Amino acid sequence: MQTNNEPQLTPKTGLVVPTAPALSAAQQAVLAELYLPLIGPLAYSLYAALRSLQSPENELSNRRSHAELLGILGTDLPTVLAARKKLEATGLLQSYFQEDELGAVYVYQLQAPLAALPFFADDLLSVLLLDTVGELRYQQLADDFAPVSIDLSKAQNVTANVLDVFHIDSQKVTQSPLPVQKVRAQLAANEPVEATGSAVSDDGFDWQLLGQILKQNYVDLKQVAGSRQLIITESRVYGLNEIEMAKLISEVASLTTGQFDESQLKLVIARRYERPSAPAASEPPADATKAAANVTATKPTGNLTAAEQQLVNYAKTATPYDFLADLKQEKHGFVTAGENRLIHDLVGRGVLPNPVINMLVFYLLQNRELAALNRNLLETVANDWQQHAITTPEAALTYIKTRQQPKQPARARRRNNNGRPVRKEIVPKWAQKQATGSANAKANSGANQLTEAQRKQLAERVAKLDTNSKKED
């Protein structure tokens, strides 16, 4: 029977069954032993019939009709609809409906059954199975699917690691080749992905690769999922790829339980990748930090100078810890434990990308000339940059130069009787010297006044010149 909010289903209504992965022997056993008592033989047959109607093209235009499905099962439409509801209720089928130019069509996506342990751990399915088969049969099924465990507490795990046997190019692993990406994209739609083995996320860390390596080393993947933030932070701070992180986690993981201590993992990473606290006696290895020191003396322009571009390029490639260590070494200092914690906290928050964090460190240590990073100032500037949407090192450098431009001095404005402002100009030093020289000349000329006799003599000469000029006229 159809519900009121469900589209009308007729034998002519189309159906499409996208291709689903084939069931393994273990999945088929779970379907027959655990799901069959719940859904009944007709729904079990419907599940098999839908598998026979799968469309390899996965196109809506390549559709079949429900009449063909009814012919396979030899039953009527209401019975098939009731069986379909049981498959949907137990998580074996997802149904979608739409209408297009070809008419109404249902899309039936087959779902793989749960494994035995997740099935018995599910509150609804386990209770439903208990009510259906009874306590005795329920206990028999639980015993049949119980994993056989062997006490390995006194045994030593001598299993070879995949990285010990095969050589894998880390660059190809971190940047998957195009054929690998295409195959992953094709399988991602139908392949059920574990929470610990998801595809490449937005942070660029390949959790699927990490999960595959750790699974072969018998590491507890559930704990890996719970330590997601720690793994991301450590990989960003020290620039660790998935293979390097898998090696480190495998080293600290227990051989018996597969679990690891997060504090021990952080300690191992710090000891292996942090540099000695004492500055090296040789010249600093990072030429980019030397070029960065020249940026403060460079005149800000619309385009980046050579030194600024070198700084930006280094900020994009260096990890926050390497950038901080190189900059402190350039200043003949060392990275303190407090600075290391500050970088970890800032990276862990995920508010700024690594290149911007590097520019923030450069701004505080180089431009502000701080001897060490300060938490209050670091968080204040980081908060300011986040509010101004600073997401690239170029934008950070432009913002730094904008903030460093001197403000125009306020000119004192006076008004005369006509209401017009009287401007008081700032005179350069060289102009002030010339003005002082003119004033001194005037003072000297005032000191050399004409005597009375010289004035009379000068007046007589002028009168004589006037008389001669009149005679000539």
Structural domains of the chain sorted by starting position, each given as residue range(s) with its CATH number in brackets: 14-119 (1.10.10), 195-273 (no CATH), 287-404 (no CATH)
The pLDDT assigned to 32 comes to 95
Q: How confident is residue 222, by pLDDT bands cut at 50, 70 and 90?
A: confident
pLDDT-wise least confident of 111-120, 247-256, 369-378, 433-442: 433-442
- Decide if pLDDT at 84 tops 70: yes
pLDDT at 203: 54
How many whole angstroms separate alpha carbon 200 and alpha carbon 350? 17
Segment 115-143, tens digit of pLDDT: 998 898 887 888 889 989 999 999 999 98
Mapping DSSP to helix (H, G, I), strand (E, B) and coil, where does residue 415 land? Answer: strand
- Which one is predicted more confidently, 423 or 31? 31
pLDDT in tens, 438-455: 445 444 544 445 566 666
User: What's the CA gap between 41 and 28, in Å, rounded?
Assistant: 14
- Predicted local distance difference test score (pLDDT) of residue 187: 66
Residue 95 three-state SS? strand
Q: What angle do CA 396, 402, 404 make, to 5 degrees?
A: 105
**Bridge-based pairing state of the strands 54-55 and 14-18:** parallel
d(CA 249, CA 210): 10
Q: What is the pLDDT of residue 462?
A: 62
Contact 77, 107 (CB under 8 A): no
Taking the C-alpha atoms of residue 163 and residue 467, their distance in angstroms, rounded to an integer, is 120
Q: What is the pLDDT of residue 318?
A: 84
Percentage of the chain modeled with pLDDT above 70: 71
**Mean pLDDT of all residues in the chain?**
76
Mean pLDDT across the stretch 23-51? Answer: 94
For residues 219 and 231, what is the distance between their CA atoms, to the nearest angstrom? 14
The residue-averaged pLDDT of 218-244 equals 84
Amino acid occupying residue 427: V
Strands 421-422 and 414-415: antiparallel
Predicted local confidence at residue 427, as pLDDT: 38
466 phi/psi in degrees, rounded to 5: -70, -40
Dihedral sign from CA coordinates of 18, 22, 27, 30: positive
What stretches of 53-138 adopt beta strand conformation (E)? 54-55, 64-65, 93-100, 103-110
